[in-house]
Amino acid sequence: MQSVTAALARLGDLAASPTVSRLANSFAAAGFELALVGGPVRDAFLDRVTNDLDFTTNATPDQILAIVKPIAEAHWDIGRAFGTIGAQIAGEKVEITTYRADSYDGQTRRPDVVFGSSLDDDLLRRDFTVNALALRLPQVTLVDPSNGIDDLLNGVLRTPTAPEISFGDDPLRMMRAARFTAQLGFTLEIDTAIAMAAMAGSINIISAERVGDELGKLLRSANPRAGIELLVESGLAAIVLPEIPALRLEIDEHHHHKDVYQHTLTVLDQAIGYERSRQNLTEPDLVVRLAALLHDIGKPATRRLESGGVVSFYHHDVVGAKLAKKRLRALRFDNDTIAAVGKLVELHLRFFGYTEGAWTDSAVRRYVRDAGDQLERLHILTRADVTTRNRRKADRLGFAYDDLEQRIGELAAQEEMDSVRPDLDGEEIMAILGLKPSREVGEAYRYLLEQRLDDGPLGADEATRRLQSWWSGRRA
């Protein structure tokens, strides 16, 4: 957290930048108000990098367009219905929005768009006091009608108006509370937390796309665990992601197993650590984080209490993959993300068979083939799934996975395993067997692929011999 003096100096430098000063002077010359608002002002106090430049004004969308056209390299009005005009000015993208005073009617999934006339009123309708900050331009005057600076300094999330009113205006703000908890490391103020729990059901009027988008932003944050915990504690998760609170399985005095919910949160934490150390990414890997969060959601449905105090979860990987894909589809995630997460959940247990006995080269090839382009993510998820406090067991599993990865690397170097194909292609199969394109060609191709996985590269002559033998036996 920067001092107020340092933050104001940083905001002064931002106001003097070519993009901001050009905008500010143009709006002032046209006789309209303009203020930098929300995230950029907040982040100046948190010493965080500012990526978005958002402005608010008393000008209407048509008036905004008239002002920015002469000074912009490009402009777009895709958000005009909601009062927002986008532009690129001095190489930077900006968004300028007319003062807003809109709200939900409690029945539909879209807000009633109402333009306001006052900066203070606009700020008081925003989600949290730490985002209800503005810098008037070109005067460079800080506006803070709800004491957001105090909440910033104290690390508190609070709504500018009564939380019942704020969440009633836009129930998605409850999801944002969880996201900002994870993103900023702040604590939710008690009255806001109480209102969030009481009004959790109103999230149902928000579209699945917007809920899914907020969940994605939460998971991409620095500490998604805190946000997930808030969603569960408030009851929101029971509505938007019910598979997670369902992991808090009851444990009786006769049957014992690890706390699946806490295990899942630990796996999420550990996956983020491996993601950062292994992938060298500049952006968080949403697929890895979703897979970590959802990898055990098949356990409640497969839980069985066995004799001797044993609890089993047979096939929870397969069941969990189906549940994960169903939930992500409901939240309108894209098809590639859904497929990748589903594959990772389904395969997350595969490695543990490696610790029970040495795998053949064939088994290693199948592991790589089944993982496909998700192999590196599967490495991360599998390692993160080891949460035992038994150091000897943890080391044994870690060494075993080191060995598996080494074998994968050695085989890949020998065989180009990332693109394993049969030794004969479809055209060659048809020529050898005298076939036309048909189901039999596909069966022959799969047979040769299995031979390739079992025994490695065969060469054309040996592959032909095996193919002809298989075909003769099949016909007989």
Chosen domain end from 221, 241, 261: 241
* H-assigned helices in 140-254: 148-154, 163-169, 172-184, 190-198, 208-219, 224-234, 237-240
> What's the pLDDT at 389?
84
Pair (105, 134) in one structural domain: yes
Longest dimension (CA), the chain: 91
Can you give the pTM of this predicted structure? 0.82
> What's the pLDDT at 255?
43
Mean pLDDT taken over the chain: 89
Average pLDDT over every residue of 191-207: 97
Pair (356, 265) in one structural domain: yes
We report the CATH number of the domain holding residue 379 as: 1.10.3210
Question: Phi, psi (5° rounding) for residue 298?
Answer: -80, -5
Is the Cβ–Cβ distance between 332 and 356 less than 8 Å? Answer: no
> What's the pLDDT at 253?
45
Pair (141, 42) in one structural domain: yes
Residues 80 and 331: their CA atoms lie apart, in Å, by 26
Nearest to 193 by CA among 150, 242, 229, 241: 229
Pair (17, 140) in one structural domain: yes
Nearest to 31 by CA among 55, 63, 56, 54: 63
pLDDT tens-digit readout, 347-371: 999 988 777 667 888 888 889 889 9
Q: What interhelical angle do 460-475 and 439-455 show, nearest 10?
A: 130
Question: Which residue type, as a one-letter code, is found at position 271?
Answer: A
Pair (445, 357) in one structural domain: no
Q: Which domain holds residue 177?
A: 155-241
Pair (350, 432) in one structural domain: no
> pLDDT band at residue 427, thresholds of 50, 70 and 90?
very high
Pair (235, 276) in one structural domain: no
> What's the pLDDT at 414?
72
Average pLDDT over every residue of 312-339: 96
**Residue 468 neighbours by CB distance under 10 Å:** 12
pLDDT tens-digit readout, 219-243: 999 899 999 999 999 999 999 999 9
> What's the pLDDT at 417?
55
The least confident of 23-32, 336-345, 425-434 is 425-434
Pair (1, 147) in one structural domain: yes
> What's the pLDDT at 100?
83
Pair (256, 364) in one structural domain: yes
Pair (302, 159) in one structural domain: no
The least confident of 35-49, 125-139, 347-361, 459-473 is 347-361
Residues 277 and 288: their CA atoms lie apart, in Å, by 13
Nearest to 159 by CA among 177, 178, 179, 182: 177
